[in-house]
Amino acid sequence: MNTRNNCYTYFKIVGNFNPDDVSELLGLTPEKAWKIGDLRCNGTKYDFALWEIGRCTEYDVEVENQMRKTISVLQDKIPLLNQIRQKYDVSFVLEIVPTIYANDINPCLAPSLDVIDFCHETRTQIDIDMYIYDSENE
């Protein structure tokens, strides 16, 4: 079935830390990162650091599959993530960004137990940033 709905997911660390230290500790290269004081495109400075990984744009009506793909690179790093959380002033977020059109198949946004377990073990927040459009809107 054809749908205009889509969704992407990613994992991010935000707070007061050096993203290079996180990359070194985890042995992973982030897809996006910046430090406090780095310049935004508009010339203002970021007042928080960011480290992002696991962006999954392969839409699946079972969004839990996207969540699993996002955290798959981190599953064996739970002790390191907890070390980072305790050492630095950071928050972990599993971000879910669905775009939904009325009259299309609604995605299932329920995280699976393994995703919930990961989030619980690492104290990761789940944030759903949803966009909903009429069928007539493009």
Number of Cβ atoms within 10 Å of the Cβ of 77 = 17
Report the pLDDT value the prediction gives residue 103, as an integer from 0 to 100: 78
Range of the domain at 109: 6-133
Tell me the per-residue pLDDT of 70-79, one tens digit each, with 9 for 90 and over: 999 999 999 9
Share of the chain above pLDDT 70, in %: 96
pTM of the complete model beyond 0.85: yes
Number of structural domains (the chain) is 1
Alpha carbon distances (Å) from 115 to 109, 121, 137: 12, 10, 33
For the chain, give percent helix, strand, coil, nearest 5: 30, 35, 35
Residue 138 lies in a domain: no
Of 135, 72, 134, 127, the closest CA to residue 98 belongs to 127
